[in-house]
Structures are given as structure tokens and as C-alpha cells.
Structure 1
Amino acid sequence: MSTLNVPPVLPSPRDDAMQLYRAFKGFGCDTTAVINIVAHRDATQRAYLQQEYRAMYSEDLLKRLSSELSGKLENALLLWMHDPAGRDAIILKQTLTVAKNLEASTEVICSRTPSQLQYLRQIYHTKFGISLDHDIERNTSGDHKKILLAYVSTPRHEGPEVNREMAENDAKVLYKAGEKKLGTDEKTFVQIFSERSAAQLAAINNFYHGKYGHSLKKAIKNETSGNFAHALLTIVQCAENPAKYFAKVLRKAMKGLGTDDTKLMRVIITRSEIDLQYIKGEYLKKYKKTLNDAVHSETSGHYRAFLLSLLGPNQ
């Protein structure tokens, strides 16, 4: 469930464009006015706004925002202005080929649905003139590369149906490929994790727990490591409860000394129009503090105001 708060009576894209133009004019930018508009528009409305701004002022709105803003707010707001698939493509290009932040690339790929991934691959190729698979191939290695390539390219069912017999058998196969033998048969893990639907994987996890006394998550931690383990853990946790998974990611971003702002803004911005309401619920349940309060204490200024606008009411 989205946390995006769109006004009941929506101004036209033309009105929004004019308001933004006014906010940019003169000495300094009226940043509050900018946030009040863009943080309360959905992906379609943001796209219309950009088209209208270009038509009216012969200027790219993203370039103008970039010249008017700076720092964390600039990064967050520019990321927000894209549609979800375009934004994921930009994050993946950046994390795979520039920043080499493979943890972030893995999180994005392994938490998306098959239909989201299919569309993302098309957009990626259109935007960058190169396939996502090619960039994964060039910038990752070993079993981590194998799971990412299999996960982005294998069609999977998205419905809630479960084949219980198959799930029970897969649990046995994974046990034999991992905890039962010396060493790990990674190929089996790659095959099952990339071919089974989310509902099916959740069922495999239940059977695994029932048969062997602990979760598949614990088995993965015991049997694998590094980015490969991170990919498998992301897949299985998102199959069970994506909101709980992202609540943990956000906690990790804000825990300890300093805040991982790249991670914080990435999760809030990419999940805002999908399931941020559920993530807020899971965060409160697990950490006994609202996500809004946590973000408020870890951020400041207009950057804080923008993230809190996306999070919606504190509850």
C-alpha cells in the first residue's frame, strides 16, 4: 500500500509547472514550495509535469532542479522524479557500473517481481543502449553472477497458487544440496530460487522449517556467503514478506554511527508508491518506533522534509 498523499483536487500540470517556475525565480529557490508539489504527485503526474514544464519554458525540469538544489535533497528529489522502472534502471546502472555497490544492485534485482524485471530490462536497454544482462555479466562474478542472470531472465508465475508436493520435494533437494553434504551444490540453489514463484518459495521455506528445524534463511547463512548469500536471502525474504525485509534494510541504514543516506532514500523512494505503508507497520512492530520518528532523528532540513512527505502521516 502506497503512502503517497495526492491532493483530492489536483492542480493541472500547467499550474504545477507555473508554480515551480515561480519557486525557481529570483534569489535562491523556494525549496519548500518545490517539495510541496513534487512529493505529492504520482509517477504519471510527475511525467506530465515534466512534459508541460519543457513545453512552457523550453527547459528540462530535471536539469533545472539539479541546478537549484544540492546535496542529499538534490539526489533524493531527482531519483523521485523518474517513473519506477526508469528509476530502477538508473539505480542499477549506477550501482553496477559506476559505484560498484553490488549490495544495492542485488537488492533491487532480487526484490522485484517477474513482470517488473521484464519491463525494467526493456527500459534499461532503451535508456543505455546495452542490455542489463550484459552489465551484470561484466560487473559481477561467480555464483552471484549466475543467480542474478537467472533471476532477471527466467519467467516466473506471480499468482498465489502453490504445488505443495513440489515444495516439499524442493525442500529436500535444497537440504541435500546444502546442509546434508560437505560443500554446497550452488547450481541447485540457483535453479530453484530463480525458477520458483514467490508463493512457491514461501511454501518451500515452510516445509524446510518443518522438516529440518530451522528456516531456509539460516541454511543459506550457513552454506553460502557474500553477494551470493545476499541474493538468496533477499529472494526468500521478499517471497515471504517484502515489507518486513525492507523494514530491516531501513533499520540497517539508520543503525549505529552515521546514516547510509543512499540506502535510506533508495528504499523510501522506490517503495513509496508500492508498499511503504506496510513497511511502516513492520518497522513499528519490530523496532517499537515509527519509521517517521526514526527518519526524523537521522535526517535534517529540506531533505528530512522531503522524505517525511513521502512517508505520510506518523503512525
Structure 2
Amino acid sequence: MAASYRQGTVKACGPDFNPESAAQAFHKAMKGLGTDEKAIINLLSGHCNSERQEINAISKSCFGANLEDKLKGELGGHFLELCLCLLMPSCQFDAWCLHQAMKGIGTKEIRLIEVISTKSNSEMATIKTEYKNIYGRDLEGDIVSETSGHLRNILVSLIQGRRDEECYLNSDVMKQDVKDLFEAGENMLGTDESVFNKVLALRSVGHLQEVFKIYRQQHQQDLEAVIASETSGDTKEAYLAIVKYIKDPAAYFAECLHKSMAGIGTRDERLIQIVVDRSELDLKDIAEKYMEMYKKALPTAIADDTSGDYRKLLVRLTNLN
């Protein structure tokens, strides 16, 4: 969605990349008694996802086993989970995250919201295709069966991938959207969520950014405050996620990371998935915004809430130049 320049932490090796040499290094790290976890950490964090896929393919050809199977025999816990996520093809990762959020008893609505509300039209199309290919199921059908009410409506709208991506801004349409949002929220008893749904799911990023500004100017209140007072539960979280991400993607994910580590215990699955998903996109921007918002370095925050080799790999992923 966001058009601004973004900086990830994980970069490609460039012309020095040698997949066979890297596969040999992985094999050496897991050969014989014991495991060289430091080498595994360096290899996974030192290569981008496309390079990891090449290393994995070469490893199977050279040593008769892919890296996932070898790691499962050597590692465990959250460290293994993080390693396996890093080895997953990036085009399949979001589909896997959505499936994880819906499988078993209960649904992790916050993960559905985080993934679906932050994807472009083309990314959403790829996710739906991969979901069907991997699981033999329709993403929309699973979302309809696992969610309900206005949350289901906004998620189904977003996965259609019909957001306007034109750069042209129409001031008349922006003014009308501001009027409609005011009439559907603050200026009526109750809330007409269908209006919020239509505007937030279909309008372009640039259009919505201007709508948010105009709303503030006309009504002396941010749309986030209106959403917080006019909606509740997961519907509120979904609307707020869209608004916050469109306003400032780095700030949105910095807040998500903070929430994954706030309070007693760490929501490790959420932490892992955000770090892996954003590592090659804008994790450096997110880390800078995290420091600005919470006055603490993201690697330090992660180190304080995790342990062992799991901590070492997470910290390295968030602290690469």
C-alpha cells in the first residue's frame, strides 16, 4: 500500500552468493554430534529468502534432505519455528500465516487483520492463489466460516483486492467520503459500518490519507478516535489497523511488535511472523520508529522478552544493516 521508500534489515548477498557453499556450511553445522547454532543463525540471517530457497534446493540435491527436515531433527521450540518460517518461500508465507490463524480450535483474529489489512491488490491475489494451491481451500470461504459480523465483512471486502490504486485524487469524492463517514458515525445514533467498510476497503492510499486530514480539520477529531468510540471488538481493531497502516506503516508494525511483547508473557507466534514478514521489506524503518515511539531499541526489547538461540536469531534479524 505505502509508496514511500522502505528499508529492510535482511539483504541479498549479491555477486558473492554461492548456494552450494552455503548448503555445505548448513550440512557441516548439523553433522555429527551437536549442532552449531551460531552457524545456522548466521546463514539464515545472512541470506535473503530467494537465496535460502536456492540453498535449500541445493542441499536436497547434495545431501538427500532439505533443510527443514534436517533442522527438525536438530532444533526445537521457538528457535525451530523461527528457522522454519525463514525457510518458507516468501510467496507462500502470508498464506501460511492466515491458515495458522484459522486452524484448530478458535481463530486468531488479530493475525488475520494484520496480514489482510496491509496487502496490496496484487499481493492479495498471490495470497489467495497460494492458499488454494497449498491447502486446497478457498481463502474467502475459510474466512467466512471462521469470522462473523462486521469483521467478516471488512475482511471479505479487503481480500477482493479492489482498492483503487490510481494516483489521481478527486477533491469532491474526498469531501463526500468525509461527510459520509461523519453521518455514519458521530452524527447518528449507532454506527453504519457499511459506510466505513466501503471507504476503508476501496479508496486509494493517497485518497484516504487526505480524507483523514480533512476529517480532522472539519471535525477536530482523528478518525481513529471516532472508530474507537463508534465500534468495538475485532471490528474496531480491523478498522484501526487499516487507518494506522495507511497513515504510517512503520508506526503500525512498531505498535504490533510492542503489543506482542507487552505484559506478562510474549506472543511468540505473532512476534515471529511480523519479524519474518517485514525483514526484507521495512523492518529497519519499523525498528527506527519503535525507538521513536517507545524510547527503546527494538533488538533490546526483543532480547528482554526472549531467550537462547531464538533470541539471538531474532535480535540479529532486527539489527542487520
TM-score interval (norm. to shorter): over 0.9
Identity level (%): 31
- Taking structure 2 as the reference length, the TM-score comes to 0.93
Q: Which residue of 2 aligns with 1:70?
A: 76
- The worse-fitting range, judged by mean Cα deviation, of 86-95 and 189-198 is 189-198
- Deviation of 1:73 after TM superposition, in Å, equals 0.5
What are the equivalent positions in structure 2 for 1:76-115 lying under 5 Å apart? Answer: 76-98=82-104, 100-115=107-122
Q: Which residue of 2 aligns with 1:167?
A: 174
What are the equivalent positions in structure 2 for 1:152-163 lying under 5 Å apart? Answer: 152-158=159-165, 160-163=167-170
Give the number of equivalent residue pairs: 314
Distance 1:97 1:225 in 2: 24
SS in 1 for 2:103: helix
- Deviation of 1:84 after TM superposition, in Å, equals 2.5
Q: Which residue of 1 aligns with 2:146?
A: 139
What are the equivalent positions in structure 2 for 1:133-212 lying under 5 Å apart? Answer: 133-158=140-165, 160-212=167-219
Unaligned runs of 5+ in 2: 1-6
Distance 2:316 2:46 in 1: 8
**Aligned pair 1:264/2:271, yes or no?**
yes
Q: Which residue of 2 aligns with 1:10?
A: 16
Distance 1:218 1:83 in 2: 38
Distance 1:166 1:11 in 2: 50
Equivalent AA in structure 2 for residue 263 of structure 1: R
Distance 1:277 1:19 in 2: 27
Equivalent AA in structure 1 for residue 197 of structure 2: V
Give yes or no for contact 1:137–1:149 (8 Å, CA) kept in 2.
yes
1:50-99 C-alpha deviation (Å, 9 max, x unpaired): 11111112223212212211011111111111132311111100102235
- The worse-fitting range, judged by mean Cα deviation, of 96-105 and 138-147 is 96-105
- Deviation of 1:162 after TM superposition, in Å, equals 2.8
**Aligned pair 1:50/2:56, yes or no?**
yes
Give yes or no for contact 1:4–1:312 (8 Å, CA) kept in 2.
no
Give yes or no for contact 1:2–1:275 (8 Å, CA) kept in 2.
yes
Equivalent AA in structure 1 for residue 124 of structure 2: L
- Taking structure 1 as the reference length, the TM-score comes to 0.95
Distance 1:33 1:312 in 2: 17
**Aligned pair 1:293/2:300, yes or no?**
yes
Equivalent AA in structure 2 for residue 17 of structure 1: A
- Deviation of 1:265 after TM superposition, in Å, equals 1.4
Q: Considering only aligned residues, what root-mean-square deviation do their CA atoms show, in Å?
A: 1.6
Distance 1:304 1:14 in 2: 28
Distance 1:244 1:87 in 2: 22
1:33-60 C-alpha deviation (Å, 9 max, x unpaired): 1111111111210111111111112223
Distance 1:311 1:132 in 2: 31
Task: Identify the match of residue 311 of structure 1 among 291, 300, 318.
Answer: 318
Distance 1:240 1:284 in 2: 18
1:256-313 C-alpha deviation (Å, 9 max, x unpaired): 2222222221211111111111111111111111111111222221111101121124
Unaligned runs of 5+ in 1: none
